[in-house]
Structure 1
Amino acid sequence: MSPELAQTMMKPDAIAQELWDRLFEIFQDKKATRAVYLEEQFTSTRLDAFAIVTKYCAHLKNLVDQLTNVGNPVSEQNMVLQLVSGLTKGDYDTIATIIQQSGLLPTFNKAQSQLLLEETLCSPSPFYPNF
């Protein structure tokens, strides 16, 4: 614990439980602030900020894991919805429509797999330049 934090928490004649409760309040406050920041990052993540789909998906998954750690888990459905809403217009329109219009949304891993396949099919082949 930093000296500054210890000074903030200290209170004359306080019992250990009171100090513990004060420490908990300080970190809970930071936890809420962190959750707000992470939620904003999650909802504003777009594929065009990444070189490849794998990095885009990994970034989303990392944000979801961090949100879970601060007590704000993201549902599988919201993960998929964000994955689709952050796609680049044009290149991924077809797969985005397929994912959105399926009876039940696929899992995040399944949607990621579909995007990776689409990326592979849309990428120019080094062996066939006009493919």
Structure 2
Amino acid sequence: MMFGDVEWTQIDQCIVSWLYTTVSNDILHIIIKPSDTAANAWTVIAELFLDNRLQRAIFAKREFHNIVQGDLSVTAFCSRLKCLSDTLRDVGSPVSDQDMLLALINGLNDDFGHCIAALTINPAGLTFARARGALLQEERRLSRGGHRAQLTALMAGHSRPPATAPSLRPVAPVAPSSGGGRTRDKKKK
């Protein structure tokens, strides 16, 4: 340690400050110590994140294998799978691309049920990224179809009969009525 070196102490304190400002407040309250060094702060943070690896792996694996899309978009669903995969990698249980692909297909909602057969009919060369891309295209197609149906319904609700040219037929003369109009009786005197 170089506690006597002013330049080294300044750099070390900058790193400690950076570490403290980049972690969440919950973690900060656990790790903060007066006169801490960068090496000590980093060691505490690393131990905190690596603590209970087995238990974290169990929970993450359970969630990974049981995840369902529900109302999530394809992008949000794939991002959640990737996040769980990263967590599993961080705790020493990496997930293969094949496992990612299986979890993706297994968790799709009913809107994409018809895609499962298309994705699994010829799985050679199919990767998580390719399946994600195909599902994103299908999601766009489905949203356009829904948008078209809404526009069609909107147009049907507001449609007017087609404009026609005014009739040019001659109008038949109307016969005067016998008692309905005003008449003046002239009385002879």
Residue equivalent to 1:53: 74
Aligned equivalents of 2:129, 2:152: Cα separation in 1: 31
1:102 aligns with 2:122: yes
Aligned equivalents of 1:113, 1:73: Cα separation in 2: 23
SS at match of 1:125: helix
**Amino acid of the residue matched to residue 30 of structure 1?**
N
SS at match of 2:77: helix
Residue equivalent to 1:38: 60
Residues 106, 130 of structure 1: alpha-carbon distance in 2 compared, 3 angstrom cutoff: farther
Q: Is the 8 A contact 1:80 1:105 kept in 2?
A: no
1:72 aligns with 2:90: no
Normalising by the residue count of structure 2, what TM-score does the alignment of the two structures yield? Answer: 0.50
Structure 1 stretches lacking a partner, 5+ long: 3-23
How much is the aligned-residue C-alpha RMSD, in angstroms? 2.8
Residue equivalent to 2:113: 93
Structure with the bigger RCO (C-alpha within 8 Å, sep 6+) is: 1
Residue equivalent to 2:132: 112
Residue equivalent to 1:125: 147
Structure 2 stretches lacking a partner, 5+ long: 1-29, 31-46, 154-189
Aligned equivalents of 1:94, 1:67: Cα separation in 2: 30
- Structure number with the higher helix fraction is 1
**Identity between Structure 1 and Structure 2 (%):** 31
